[in-house]
Amino acid sequence: MSQPDVIVVGGGLGGLGAAFALTRQGLRVRLLERAPAFGEVGAGIQLAPNCTRILDDYGLLDEAVRLGVVPDSMVMRDAVDGSELTRLDLRDLEKRYGYPYLVIHRSDLHGLLLRACERVGVELITDARVTSYENTEGGARVTLAGGETHEAGVVIAADGLHSLARELLVDDEPVSSAYVAYRGTVPAGLPRVRATDLGEVVVYVGPSCHFVHYGLRGGELLNQVAVFESPKALAGQEDWGTPDELDAAFAGTCDFVRDGLPYMWRDKWWRMFDREPAMTWVHGRIALLGDSAHPPLQYIAQGAIMAIEDGWVLGEHIARNRAADGTVDWAPALAAYQAVRPEHCRRVVTTSRTWGELWHLDGTPREQRNTLLRARDPYDYSFTDWLYGPTALTPDQEPAMFTPIPLSSATFPPPPHANM
Single-letter amino acid code for the residue at 99:
Y
Phi, psi angles (nearest 5°) of residue 306: -60, -40
Check if 101 is active-site.
no
Please list, in sequence order, all residues whose beta carbon lies within 8 angstroms of the beta carbon of residue 21, skipping any fewer than 6 positions away: 58, 311, 312, 314, 315
CA 417, 419, 420: angle at the middle one, nearest 5? 65
Category of 59 on φ-ψ map: left (φ > 0), alpha (ψ -120 to 50) or beta = left
Burial of residue 43, with CB atoms counted within 10 A of its CB: 0-12 exposed, 13-18 middle, 19 or more buried? middle
Taking every pair of Cα atoms in the chain, the longest distance, rounded to a whole number of angstroms, is 87
Q: What is the 3-state secondary structure (H, E, C) of 171-223?
A: CCCCEEEEEEEEEEEEECCCHHHHCCCCCEEEEEEECCEEEEEEEEHHHCEEE
Distances (CA, A) of 50 to 53, 73, 306: 6, 17, 9
Strands 6-9 and 154-157: parallel
d(CA 370, CA 206): 11
DSSP output for 137-166: SSSEEEEETTS-EEEESEEEE---TT-SGG
Q: Which of 101, 204, 214, 263 is catalytic?
A: 214
d(CA 333, CA 22): 12
Contacts by 231-240, CB closer than 8 A, 24 or more apart: 233/176, 233/178, 233/180, 233/271, 234/178, 240/178, 240/180, 240/271
d(CA 22, CA 319): 9
Closest by CA position to 166, among listed 304, 310, 283: 283
Question: Using an 8 Å Cβ cutoff, are 52 and 67 in contact?
Answer: no
Phi, psi angles (nearest 5°) of residue 173: -130, 155
> Catalytic residue positions?
214
